Structure 1
Amino acid sequence: MTRREFMQVLAAGVAAGLAMDSKQVLAGNVPANFYELPKFGNVCLMHFTDCHAQLLPIYFREPDVNIGIGSAAGRPPHLVGENFLKAFGIKPGTIEAHAFTYLDFVAAARTYGKVGGFAHLATLVKNIRAQRPGALLMDSGDTWQGSATALWTKGQDMVDAQKLLGVNVMAPHWEFTLGAERVKEIVEKDFAGSVDFLAQNVKTADFGDQVFKPYVIKHVNGVPVAIIGQAFPYTPIANPRHFVPDWTFGIQEESLQKYVDEVRAKGAQVVAVLSHNGMDVDLKMASRVTGIDVIFGGHTHDAVPQAIPVKNAKGTTLVTNAGSNGKFLGVMDLDVRNGKIQGYKYRLLPVFSNLIEPDRAMADYIRKVRAPYEAKLNEKLAVTEDLLYRRGNFNGTFDQLIVDALLEVKGADIAFSPGFRWGTTLLPGDTITMERLMDQTSLTYPATTLNELTGAQIKDIMEDVCDNLFNPDPYYQQGGDMVRVGGLQYTVNPNAKMGSRISNMMLKGKPLDPNKKYLVAGWASVQEGVTGTPIWDVVAEYLRSVKVIKKVKLNRPTIVGVGKNPGLA
């Protein structure tokens, strides 16, 4: 590329609000047309999901363990590393390889910088809308939870950010952990007339009435587009039931089919489901419910660069999933003519903050909403010499830090930490601030506990969680990853039957005695009335005492029975 050609590209990017880092472009690390989307069709649907309240750019490492079993083995989203790149035709060592895999993460992160940030996402959304008038922006949820400011403002910082971003439609999950009254307050007051909050599968426990709108029909360039909302089906199981005591959830295929048929009867030429099921559940649902053109999914944080076609009794449904933490924006262009979709193009755009000029209005809003909390957010707790991350079926280094803290501070034999998929990444040399700790722990039921459990009870708990992850029927999977374990080593066979996946449980070199009682520390109990020191206080105490985190010993189980599974690095 000549200097003149480069300046032309740069000028075009600036005009569009996309500030390409000149050093990166000239070095050949980033294609000059990285954010160029040739126009196609007449209906554009944009989608993001699972941002977990991250308003600012962050680092986020993709998993190196994402095992699929049964029919899910070896197919998206259960691919990692080189297997992922090969499946999707992505060249190793590129900016796309960094965006979609864990490979060479630290070096690549230092090269390409942070991802996400609502000010950068806003610029990208505005640029696409300028090219595609009428484009809709959809949010699959997990938006009001995951950061300190979201916790402290009861989600208000994210609600106002969504409105400023121009979100048109939303489906929920972690939003419900703010409690039914708070959710209804936001939907009825803040979102009135601006954001459609959809959940066809949330109904009253007494008479089965709809709690929220099941769908909305919007016209895009004269084309009627129906969007049906699907909340996380297992909310009362995965999260505290007492937060939503009067509502029922579930997948509810029959109800979904009814609404698909209803919107078709009303003239919808495009039918989309905005889902928080998790990708495996969406893939199965797409094979059983007919008449859906595309599912925009969330929950499992899977960044899948292509739409996956799924055949059913009456046609084909495209299934997508758009990652997490504001790291990606999905763009689906549809060519709708003669009442039908004639073709489509889909791209999942990584949001690199170094390559996109922040939107001024959104940046100003973020500064304003964070200002009262900056001193608390920026408290320095420790420094890490290791890469700290959360994501993967069994453990991450930040998860390990949490269980290490529980063992030390609570004086436990064994520690459990939930297999949450939300949480940002820190590079070696980074300061662990209170904000970065809260990224891993911000939820409305943070109490830590210390209980006596027998070895048999411990195994039962682990088997139950393992079945939620590896049940061969996606409809019995509840998302999330395996409980993180401190102090205890074990072997796992994901392909074994329920109750037989966990074996060789060892504590300090000795087999776990099924009849002996052990002190087990944990946090985030879904039971009502649980009290205890919040997890962030426990981990902060630990960090202040050790001051430097180094040589974290990752306690992962021995994995057997999966062969050369492409979801295992």
Structure 2
Amino acid sequence: MRMSRQGRLFPAVLILAISLFAVWWLSAPGALASGKNSESVNLRILWTNDMHGYLVPLYHREPFEKDYLKQAKKEGKIGGWAYVAALINKYRSQAPERTLLLDAGDSWHGTGVALFTKGAAIVKVMNALKYDAMTPGNVDFLYPKEEFLKRVEEADFPVLAANMYDMEWGDPAMPQYIIKKINGLKVAVIGIAYQWTAKTGNREYTKGWSFGLREDEIRKLIKDIRADDKPDLVVVLSHMGFKVDQKYASRVDGIDVIIGAHTHDNVHKPPVINNTIVVQAGSHGKFLGKLDLKIKDGKVAGFDHEIIRVVSKDITPDPKIKKLIDDVYAPYKKKLSRIIGETKTMLFRRDTYESTMDNFITDAYRDMSKTDVALAPAWRFGLTILPGSITVEDVYGMVPTEEPLITFSIKGSNLRSILEAALDNVLDSDPYAQLGGDLIRFSGMKLLIDETKGFGKRIKMLTVGGAPFDSERQYTVVSANTQMYNAPSAEKVVNTRKVAVEELIKYIEKKKVIAPKLDGRVKIK
């Protein structure tokens, strides 16, 4: 009121003062709110995805990096959370009042230290970096349920999963979303966990929980959030996979950004589908994702995107995070650094149909178990081991679980059906039908496939142990970290109580020198 009286006495001065105040207010950080301005507001999102527990740098070959030995010699190791942290600090410090740090899952599991601490070491690092939110990936559930819930409790940031439900009561089992107020904006962050989590992991660890795509529930949730919370931006943290994210964006309205994970895609040019920006930043700490958004009137008016390669030798690690990592490593360093053998060839995991690492693993399982066939999961995660010494830590990077070797027998016709279903997971044209992995890994069989055929018709030739496949024969199988023994057709199931990773360590120690190679166990017609 006092100002109004002065205005009546000094109208010109008042008008000038109001104009100057308006200019200052509009330019102040956080001054603009949804629907109340005609100017854009900036927001930066930094994110990680599919870190897979790799606290320290590693070698990591991609399927398209055919001359990786040469590249590794030049580039050195990539990733390492202290090095990622240095980049986070750099880009967050440029705009601390308008930067979010998010994670799209598969971060708590994948290495020896992660396994020994049941993910607690990773949560400590994420807490120190002050993440704002994450959604869990499928491998984050590869711990007993009580351990997973402890990690959620220990996290200083919300762990979100809007598609995860309690099967007994039908209620959400995790927080579904948060509203983050930053730089004058209201940002809704929704989490969507891997849709097939209950199918692909140890079912005891997710017993009582259901997942799925849940399009209808997510549509309603977004509608309610937009009506009740009136956010300027809706961000989905998704662990569904890059192709699934794109289809999801085309079918579910109201999402501004999907920060994806699971399929380890290096997305340099993000697609925009149904007004939704879809991004993903590789895996294993190879990249830090950065998305700069301009928000105007509750909509994205423009964006700049970059995934920043983390070449460890070119970055000074964050000293606080490095010390934290050194401290969590200390109790296990002697065990993990022990040299157990040598490889003459490079062990790598990622490729659609076979890899030197998984050829070695399945060959070893079959050799030590004396079965007809060995099976292993089509994991995408894992380090690359260059020719030279093999350590205990390397083997835990290959098989980072304490799951046992399990033997069973199965009729030939049912074994073929399993292989056809596994091929469909890779080749089905509908992303919703894919589990997002490569072909199941195996030893003792050879396949000739026709990728152009439909479900159940892709296998053109199958041999077992060098002999023609017999649909009536009972074949013996050994597997670890798969659910094949749960198939109704599996018979004579035996839990050997032998921990697969420990047996691999003994196997390498006994062999002393290994030289795995690609041998064409899958050929394309």
Task: Output the CA distance in 2 between the equivalents of 1:290 and 1:393.
Answer: 32
Contact 1:203/1:209, CA 8 A, preserved across alignment? yes
Cα deviation for residue 506 of structure 1 reads 1.5
Task: Output the CA distance in 2 between the equivalents of 1:346 and 1:263.
Answer: 26
Cα deviation for residue 41 of structure 1 reads 6.4
Amino acid at match of 1:295: I
SS for the counterpart of 2:175 is: coil
Task: Output the CA distance in 2 between the equivalents of 1:196 and 1:205.
Answer: 22
Deviations 1:428-476 (A, max 9, x none): 23x11111110111125x2112222232222111112222222222112
Task: Output the CA distance in 1 between the equivalents of 2:480 and 2:150.
Answer: 28
Cα deviation for residue 184 of structure 1 reads 2.2
Larger RCO (alpha carbons 8 Å, 6+ apart): 1
Contact 1:383/1:548, CA 8 A, preserved across alignment? yes
Query: In structure 2, do the counterparts of structure 1 residues 533 and 503 end up closer, same or farther at CA, with 3 Å as the change threshold?
Result: farther
Matched, 1:199 2:156: no
Superposition TM-score, scaled by structure 2 size: 0.87
Percentage identity across aligned positions? 35
Matched, 1:271 2:234: yes
Contact 1:306/1:348, CA 8 A, preserved across alignment? no
Deviations 1:215-272 (A, max 9, x none): 1111221111111100111111111222122111111011111222222221211111
Aligned to 2:392: 434
Superposition TM-score, scaled by structure 1 size: 0.81
Matched, 1:229 2:215: no
Aligned to 1:60: 60
Deviations 1:72-105 (A, max 9, x none): xxxxxxxxx4xxxxxxxxxxxxxxxxxxxx1421
SS for the counterpart of 2:335 is: helix
The structure that has the greater radius of gyration is 2
Cα deviation for residue 206 of structure 1 reads 2.1
Task: Output the CA distance in 1 between the equivalents of 2:464 and 2:147.
Answer: 43
Task: Output the CA distance in 1 between the equivalents of 2:221 and 2:472.
Answer: 52
Query: In structure 2, do the counterparts of structure 1 residues 348 and 556 end up closer, same or farther at CA, with 3 Å as the change threshold?
Result: farther
Contact 2:449/2:458, CA 8 A, preserved across alignment? yes
Matched, 1:460 2:443: no
Matched, 1:375 2:334: yes
Bigger shift: residues 219-228 or 522-531:
522-531
Aligned to 1:20: none
Q: Which runs of 5+ in 1 are unaligned?
A: 1-39, 64-80, 82-101, 561-569
Contact 2:200/2:482, CA 8 A, preserved across alignment? no
Aligned to 2:34: none
Work out which of the residue numbers 73, 89, 96 in structure 2 matches 1:110: 73
Task: Output the CA distance in 2 between the equivalents of 1:247 and 1:508.
Answer: 40
Correspondence 1:293-304 to 2 at 5 A: 293-304=256-267
Aligned to 1:156: 120
SS for the counterpart of 1:178 is: coil
SS for the counterpart of 1:532 is: strand
Contact 1:41/1:344, CA 8 A, preserved across alignment? no
Correspondence 1:98-247 to 2 at 5 A: 102-133=65-96, 134-173=98-137, 174-188=139-153, 190-191=154-155, 194-247=156-209
Amino acid at match of 1:483: I
Query: In structure 2, do the counterparts of structure 1 residues 511 and 184 end up closer, same or farther at CA, with 3 Å as the change threshold?
Result: same
SS for the counterpart of 1:119 is: helix
Deviations 1:501-544 (A, max 9, x none): 22311134421111122222211143689453111122122211
Task: Output the CA distance in 2 between the equivalents of 1:291 and 1:225.
Answer: 13
Deviations 1:46-97 (A, max 9, x none): 111111100000011111xxxxxxxxxxxxxxxxx4xxxxxxxxxxxxxxxx
RMSD: 1.7
Task: Output the CA distance in 1 between the equivalents of 2:111 and 2:75.
Answer: 24
Cα deviation for residue 392 of structure 1 reads 1.5
Contact 1:492/1:501, CA 8 A, preserved across alignment? yes
Task: Output the CA distance in 2 between the equivalents of 1:139 and 1:455.
Answer: 43
Amino acid at match of 2:46: M
Bigger shift: residues 175-184 or 483-492:
175-184
Task: Output the CA distance in 1 between the equivalents of 2:353 and 2:377.
Answer: 10
Matched, 1:286 2:249: yes
Aligned to 1:493: 450
Amino acid at match of 1:328: F
Contact 1:400/1:555, CA 8 A, preserved across alignment? no
